[in-house]
Amino acid sequence: MAPLIEVRNLVYRYEDGAVALNGVNFRLDAGESVALLGANGSGKTTFVLHLNGLLGAEGGDDRGSVVVCGMPVSKRNLVAVRRKIGMVFQDSESQLFMPTVLEDVTFGPLNLGFAPVEAEERARAALDRVGMAGATGRAPYHLSAGEKKRVAIAGILAMDPEILVLDEPTTFLDPPGQRALADLLQDLPQAKILVTHDTSFARSICTRAVFFQQGTIQASGSIEDIVDRFEWDFTPARTNPGR
């Protein structure tokens, strides 16, 4: 079966010439949940921003290729790509930028061209899905961190994506909030990419993991393997008997 995401040899340089991504290969199949692990600055977030064209959409000769749901990510099909792959960012405060919860969740469907009435229906259904149906008229500023994260996810679900990407979702969440989020994510059928430092959270959601270091994927395998191999402080284990 065709992969949902296929990345080949992705390269990205900052303006000052420093290399951020140095030939990344990656694949995501339907229904999979993959964790992207690695230290700060290792390239995880930069990589993920390429998946929906926030970076790298201009293309170029040696940049490598990113194909999402059969579509090569380029300037011409950004909206189509962004319909398929929904991204939840680390700071929900910047993600929920509309005055009320309902208006915010309606934002996505409206952009995709749905009529206002249908967009609102989708929004309400999505809010219901994440358990925030009663919050439609509330201002995002007054929600708790966990509630904000749910509404942010609803904003993506309302667009009916096939892939969910979450960048450090457990930042700002206390343990109960993290558990609630894990429960919600486990329940969603979409394929997931989880960028995180929180290995126990990753373990509860993902089956597979890749390890980023200095702009490349150093290792890929089952979540248990990767977490054990690279230890909690993300350095390769000094002694690795039998591996």
Partner 1 sequence: MHRSDPRAKIVALLVFLVVLTTSRRDLLLIALGLGGYLCFTILWSRLPLIGALGRAAVVLPFSIAFALVCWMSGDPAKGVHLAAKSYLSALAVLLVVSTTPLPTLMRGLEALGAPRFLLMVGQFLYRYLFVISEEGQHMAKAAQSRGATAAGIVGQTARFRAAAGALAVLFARSYGRAAEIHRAMLARGFQGHFETATALRFRKADLGLAIGGSLAPVVLRVAVERWF
Of 33, 42, 46, 95, which lies in the binding site for partner 1, with binding defined by CB under 8 A? Answer: 95
Choose among 136, 86, 85, 82: nearest CA to 112: 82
For tokens 């373990």, what's the residue? Answer: 203
Q: Which of residues 132-151 bind partner 1 (CB under 8 A)?
A: 137, 139-141
Q: Which of residues 51-80 bind partner 1 (CB under 8 A)?
A: 52, 54, 78-79
Of 98, 125, 145, 180, which lies in the binding site for partner 1, with binding defined by CB under 8 A? Answer: 98
Is position 169 an interface residue for partner 1 (rule: CB under 8 A)? no
Environment class of 82 (CB within 10 Å of its CB; exposed 0-12, middle 13-18, buried 19+): buried
- Rounded Cα gap, residues 216 and 225, in angstroms: 18
Of 108, 146, 169, 177, which lies in the binding site for partner 1, with binding defined by CB under 8 A? Answer: 108
Is position 156 an interface residue for partner 1 (rule: CB under 8 A)? yes
Q: Please, which residues bridge with residue 26 across strands?
A: 7
Sheet holding 65-68, edge to edge: 19-28, 5-13, 65-68, 71-72
Which residues are CB-neighbours of 104 under 8 A, at least 6 positions away? 96, 97, 98, 140, 151, 155
- Rounded Cα gap, residues 15 and 37, in angstroms: 25
The per-residue DSSP string of 106-155 comes to HHHHHHTT--HHHHHHHHHHHHHHTT-GGGTTS-GGGS-HHHHHHHHHHH
Of 7, 119, 182, 223, which lies in the binding site for partner 1, with binding defined by CB under 8 A? Answer: 119
Quote the tokens at residue 21. Answer: 């991504």
Of 11, 22, 67, 93, which lies in the binding site for partner 1, with binding defined by CB under 8 A? Answer: 93
Of 11, 25, 39, 103, which lies in the binding site for partner 1, with binding defined by CB under 8 A? Answer: 103
Q: How many residues bind partner 1 (CB under 8 A)?
A: 35
Q: Which is nearer to partner 1, 33 or 52 (CB)?
A: 52
Of 106, 178, 190, 213, which lies in the binding site for partner 1, with binding defined by CB under 8 A? Answer: 106
Q: Which of residues 25-44 bind partner 1 (CB under 8 A)?
A: none
3-state secondary structure of 243: coil
Interface segment toward partner 1; rule CB under 8 A; list 30-38, 39-47, 64-72, 115-123: 115-123
Binding site for partner 1 (CB under 8 A): 52, 54, 78-79, 82-83, 86-87, 89, 91, 93-95, 97-100, 103, 106-108, 110-112, 116-117, 119-120, 137, 139-141, 155-156, 159
